Amino acid sequence: MNILIWSPFLQKVGTTSNVYNLINAMTKYSNEDLDSIDLINVFGEWDDYEFSSKKVNKISFLDFYFLKKIKKNGFIRSRFFTFLIIIISFFPLINLLRKKNYDFFFIHLITFLPIFLARFFKSKLKIILHISGFPKLTFLRSHFWKNNQKYIFKIICPSIETQNLLIEKNIFDKKKLKVIKDPHISPSHIIRMKDRAYGKKLNHNILAIGRLTKQKNYIFLLEVFSKILAIKNNLRLIIVGEGEERKLIEKKINSLGIKEYVKLEGFQKNIYKYLDNSICYFSTSLWEGPDLAMLDSAFLNVPIICSDCKSGRKEFIEDNYRGYIFKTNDINSAVKVFERFLNDGNSEIKKKLIRAKKEVKNFTKFRYFLELEKILKN
């Protein structure tokens, strides 16, 4: 079996981690049926990722160092580089599909080009489209997916909520859709990294993790935290991440007068020392699936407090069954839910932690492979 994977990215996101874990899962758990996995590395975006299996090959289309290092964030820049990726990849991707007979073509991110080209190849190639999170169904995207679904073998959705959206909007045939939880969790990696954590156990840190972007909604988080301090004034907010909204966030911290209570830690490779020293993981995202930090929290028995944004978070928390959930962008709701967390006894919190840890097993690489294997052998 020969597999081709398309997942060019402008900056590291959850999908990047999912693709990396997908490849590692297939090479680790597949039997002799797997011959090769070719990962398209358009301009060097995958250079920093190493794979132990010799079956994995990175195929570069353009070796321009500056493209890898130049900033690609922001509305205009991101659209420009997305268009550039399509231009750069057009003919190399055609040649690649002509040169080698792939059995499966996994498509993540910037889906237009590979779907458009693959329709012209009358081979046994089967396209598997992986939907990331809760997609924005613009007119062009909806129209393109709907009119090209006959060329797509299966569509993998990360949540029931995403699957239902695609069914309700009549984008894809229900028979083509399959829900598989993203392969976020690697228990051995978490335990190994946690062993490197250090510092004494603290009982007053609220932890937020993620890039400093509009999506993470940190301005709202700061407003909520300023209200929380009126309830319990010995708390501290730790934000781990870096991004384009840093200056805006710093300005908000100063305007709220909470500088001594908030610490911006920047990007950190090992988040486990922070999780190990926090009373909860607090996420106020405007849109987000069960993200890696949330699932790590569940695995490490850290209480989860999060917004009910799209997609999949409500499925995971399940009406406060495995954590605490509040209405997105609703300050009163967020403060009340946090107050409930503070007032809950240890036994109630422990029940939620046990349920969350049990559910997080559905997000392991091994579980992902078992579900994916059913599709590959279909």
Q: Which token pair is 342?
A: 């503070």
Residue 74 has pLDDT above 90, yes or no: no
Question: Which one has a higher pLDDT value, 32 or 302?
Answer: 302
Query: Across the strands, what pairs with 17?
Result: none
Query: Across the strands, what pairs with 307?
Result: 326
When computed from its CA atoms, the radius of gyration of the chain, rounded to whole angstroms, is 22
Residue 198's pLDDT is 47
pLDDT band at 43 (very low <50, low <70, confident <90, very high): confident
Query: Across the strands, what pairs with 306?
Result: 283, 325
The pLDDT > 70 percentage for the chain reads 92
- Per-residue pLDDT averaged across 113-122, rounded? 83
226 lies in the same domain as 291: yes
Residue 66 has pLDDT above 70, yes or no: no
Question: Which one has a higher pLDDT value, 333 or 29?
Answer: 333
pLDDT band at 185 (very low <50, low <70, confident <90, very high): confident
295 lies in the same domain as 323: yes
Residue 122's pLDDT is 62
CATH number at residue 90: 3.40.50.2000
211 lies in the same domain as 110: no
Rounded Cα gap, residues 372 and 21, in angstroms: 13
Residue 190 has pLDDT above 70, yes or no: no
Q: Which token pair is 87?
A: 């231009």
Which residues, including other chains, have CB under 8 Å from residue 84's CB and lie 6 or more apart?
67
Task: Provide the number of structural domains found in the chain.
Answer: 2
Rounded Cα gap, residues 234 and 203, in angstroms: 10
Residue 184 has pLDDT above 90, yes or no: no
207-254 per-position pLDDT tens digit: 999 989 999 999 999 999 999 999 999 999 999 999 889 999 999 999
To the nearest 5 percent, what fractions of the chain are helix, strand and coil? 45, 15, 35
- Per-residue pLDDT averaged across 28-48, rounded? 88
232 lies in the same domain as 287: yes
367 lies in the same domain as 346: no
314-327 per-position pLDDT tens digit: 889 998 999 999 99
179 lies in the same domain as 208: no
211 lies in the same domain as 342: yes
CB 305 within 8 A of CB 326: yes
Q: Which token pair is 180?
A: 């598989």
Which residues, including other chains, have CB under 8 Å from residue 68's CB and lie 6 or more apart?
43, 44, 45, 47
250-300 per-position pLDDT tens digit: 999 999 999 999 999 999 888 888 988 899 999 999 988 788 889 989 988
Residue 17 has pLDDT above 50, yes or no: yes
- Per-residue pLDDT averaged across 181-208, rounded? 69
Question: Which one has a higher pLDDT value, 10 or 180?
Answer: 180
179 lies in the same domain as 248: no
215 lies in the same domain as 91: no
Q: Name the residue range of residue 50's domain.
A: 2-183+363-376
303-350 per-position pLDDT tens digit: 999 999 877 788 899 989 999 999 999 999 999 999 999 999 999 999
Mean per-residue pLDDT of the chain: 88
141 lies in the same domain as 238: no
274 lies in the same domain as 207: yes
176 lies in the same domain as 305: no
Residue 202 has pLDDT above 60, yes or no: no
Residue 251's pLDDT is 97
